[in-house]
Amino acid sequence: MKDDSYARQYLRRSQEVVEKYLSAGMPGLPELVETTVAALRGGHKILIFGNGGSAADAQHLACEFVNRYLLKSRKALPAVALTTDTSIITCAGNDFGFDQIFSRQIEALAVKGDLAVGLSTSGGSPNVLAALAEARKRGCFTAGFTGGHGAALADLCDHLLAAPDDLTPVIQQFHITLGHLWVDLVERRLAEKQ
């Protein structure tokens, strides 16, 4: 690279986000792990959703729960990404509006005690907010992954994991790092003898 100063600055910014989160005591993560473990041990499922890159993260994390993460032999864990069924998404979007593509699925699939996890880098995605509101109505636990300005999302979440930054790609990098750690810690806890 001719000028690597931009690359170094970008990587340092990503590193600083993690350091700030660590310094703040990892807010939301320990509680989310406990809630997830309790929900899964209670026979409940995880419903994950978001838009764009957050939709991809939702699918990625659901995959890690269903298949496995680091433990070679463990049972599959029930997690569903609400971002994958194009027929449901386009039907709900057409009939009820894009703001309802996740809340309709929550209405159909969620039961009391499930865990609904919304990903929104801005914290203001209307369809994510609507789904979390519907999940709360149904007695689900709720969690959100967001960025530094996720106040609207915070009001609907039992557990909030917020990247201390406002740049979307940096927030998304933080989300997948934290998401992997979430899956890892849950997997390890479930492997412990009760």
- Contacts with 162 (C-beta within 8 Å, 6 or more apart), sequence order: 27, 28, 123, 145, 146, 147, 148, 150, 154
Q: Which residues lie across from 117 on neighbouring strands?
A: 48, 143
Q: How many CB atoms lie within 10 A of CB 72?
A: 5
Contact 123, 146 (CB under 8 A): yes
Nearest C-alpha neighbor of 152 from the set 136, 137, 132, 168? 132
User: What pLDDT, on a 0 to 100 scale, did the predictor assign at position 3?
Assistant: 74
User: What pLDDT, on a 0 to 100 scale, did the predictor assign at position 1?
Assistant: 63
The C-alpha atoms of residue 106 and residue 109 are separated, in whole angstroms, by 5
Nearest C-alpha neighbor of 37 from the set 186, 194, 145? 186
Question: Is the pTM above the cut of 0.85?
Answer: yes
The C-alpha atoms of residue 105 and residue 130 are separated, in whole angstroms, by 11
User: What pLDDT, on a 0 to 100 scale, did the predictor assign at position 108?
Assistant: 98
Query: Mean pLDDT for each 10-residue chunk of the chain (194 residues)?
Result: 85 96 96 98 98 98 96 94 97 98 98 98 96 98 92 93 95 97 97 77
Cα three-residue angle 34-135-188, rounded to 5 degrees = 20
Half-sphere exposure (Cβ direction) of 76: Cα atoms closer than 13 Å = 7
Per-domain boundaries in the chain: 29-191
**Owner of token pair 């680091």:** 70
Which stretches of the chain are assigned E, i.e. beta strand?
A: 46-50, 79-81, 115-119, 141-146, 159-162
For domain 29-191, is the CATH number 3.40.50.1970?
A: no
